[in-house]
């Protein structure tokens, strides 16, 4: 781990919000809960659109129409997840950056999943011009679903190993 990353992590842990979250008996679990609620909203809307791209579910709306309908909820979930994640991270940044699962999630999987999510959002209209979704659209939905499952798996791995090392 580089000295600069650890120095930045220590600085973040010593910010007023980092100290407050870490020293509170109830604030850290509440912020984790808020983070998980935001993730559930965001990934729930994303998975819904991905499944629709893959042809799963009722066909009352195209995947593009469904995506547009869920866009506000998706952004709300994303914003809540980022805020909760940042506050959780600021409380124990040095622990987080030294954990392989967290580093994998943050350095590799999340950027891939975010970039792929933007590709889907940009192309979803072209893939669903008719009632049928193109083969590319179906594969794109499956790939995004798998990328986000990988991010969640890395997160769970971090949570489990972090809990074990704290015991």
Q: pLDDT tens for the chain, 167 residues: list them.
A: 688 889 999 999 999 999 999 999 899 899 999 999 999 999 999 999 899 888 887 778 888 888 899 999 999 999 999 999 999 999 999 988 888 888 888 887 778 878 888 888 888 888 777 667 788 888 988 988 888 888 888 888 777 876 655 54
pLDDT given for residue 167 in this prediction: 46
User: In this structure, are residues 63 and 130 in contact, taking their beta carbons and an 8 Å threshold?
Assistant: no
Q: How far apart (Å, rounded) are the C-alpha atoms in residues 165 and 159?
A: 10
User: In this structure, are residues 154 and 105 in contact, taking their beta carbons and an 8 Å threshold?
Assistant: yes
Helices 3-13 and 16-23 pack at an angle, to 10 degrees, of 70
Q: How far apart (Å, rounded) are the C-alpha atoms in residues 111 and 147?
A: 10
Helices 27-53 and 135-166 pack at an angle, to 10 degrees, of 160
DSSP state of 83: H
pLDDT given for residue 62 in this prediction: 83
Number of domains the chain is built from: 1
pLDDT given for residue 166 in this prediction: 52
Q: In which domain, by residue range, is 162 found?
A: 3-166
């Amino acid at each position: 781990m580089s000295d600069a990353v650890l120095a930045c992590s220590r600085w973040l842990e010593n910010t007023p919000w980092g100290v407050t979250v870490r020293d509170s008996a109830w604030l850290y679990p509440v912020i984790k809960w808020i983070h998980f609620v935001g993730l559930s909203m965001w990934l729930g809307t994303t998975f819904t659109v991905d499944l629709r791209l893959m042809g799963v579910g009722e066909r009352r709306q195209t995947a593009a129409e469904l995506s547009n309908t869920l866009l506000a909820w998706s952004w709300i979930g994303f914003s809540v997840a980022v805020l909760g994640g940042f506050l959780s991270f600021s409380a124990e940044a040095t622990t987080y950056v030294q954990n392989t699962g967290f580093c994998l999630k943050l350095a590799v999987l999340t950027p891939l999943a975010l970039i792929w999510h933007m590709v889907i959002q940009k192309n979803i209209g072209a893939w669903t011009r008719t009632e049928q979704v193109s083969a590319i659209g179906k594969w794109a939905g499956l790939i995004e679903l798998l990328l986000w499952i990988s991010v969640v798996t890395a997160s769970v791995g971090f949570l489990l190993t972090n809990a074990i090392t704290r015991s």
